[in-house]
Amino acid sequence: MSTAQILRRYLTNSSLLFSSSTLTSTPPSSSSSPSTATAGETTTKTIDPEINPLLDFSRTKVKNQQFSDQNELPLFIAISKNASDKLNEISKNDNNPDLALRVSVESGGCHGFQYNLNLCDVNDFKPTEDDSMFIRSGAKVLIDKTSLEILRDSKIDFVHELIGSQFKVVDSPYTKSSCGCGSSFDFDFDKLEKDSQK
C-alpha cells in the first residue's frame, strides 16, 4: 500500500479531525502493532515514530479544511520539521510573527506545471476564497483549493541541495516527472482518477 493510500485511509478514519473554523489534529492512537510470539502469547512491536510516514501529517494542523471536488475527501498536505524550523527561524530573524509561506501551482514550465513558493503575511489568508492554512509548531503554509487538488498528500520541506537551500514540495504521489530543480512537474491525472474511485 502506498503512502498516499495509507494517508487517505488515515484521514477518512477520523484520526485527524477537521473544522472550517478551528485548528484540530489528533495523532494516531497507537504506535504499536501486535504480533504473535508463540501459541497463546502476544507481543508488541514498537514502530519508531521518526520513521513513521504519517508523522509529518499527524503533526500538521489545518484551518479552513477543503474537500476534493472529485471524491469529497479532505485535501491535506504536511509540513516537515525542517520546513517548520526554517519558517520559524525566518519569522524570528525578521521579527515577524505573521510570516507565512504561500504555495501555489500554475501551468507552465518545461513539464506542464510549476510550483510557486513565496514568503508572505498571514493577512494574505483568504478563507472565503477557499484558502487553507496548514500549521506546524507555529509555522504557517497557505494553499488555495485549486493548488491543493494537485498537491494533495505531498509535503512541504526545506532541503539543502547543490543548487542551494530552498523550500520544496516533496513526496507528491501524483507527480510523474519533474525538472532537475524540482520547480516544474508533470501531473498524473490518470493515477488521481483511479485513486479517487477506490
pTM of the model as a whole: 0.72
117-133 pLDDT, tens per residue? 999 999 999 999 999 99
pLDDT number for residue 110: 55
Taken in order 33, 196, 77, 17, the sign of the CA dihedral is negative
Q: Which domains does the chain have, with CATH numbers?
A: 3-28+43-196 (2.60.300.12)
**Residue owning grid cell 501486535:** 34
pLDDT tens across 36-95, in order? Answer: 444 555 444 444 555 576 899 999 999 999 999 988 989 999 999 999 999 999 999 999
* Torsion-angle region of 35 (φ positive above 0: left; ψ -120 to 50: alpha; else: beta): beta
pLDDT at 125: 97
What pLDDT, on a 0 to 100 scale, did the predictor assign at position 114? Answer: 83
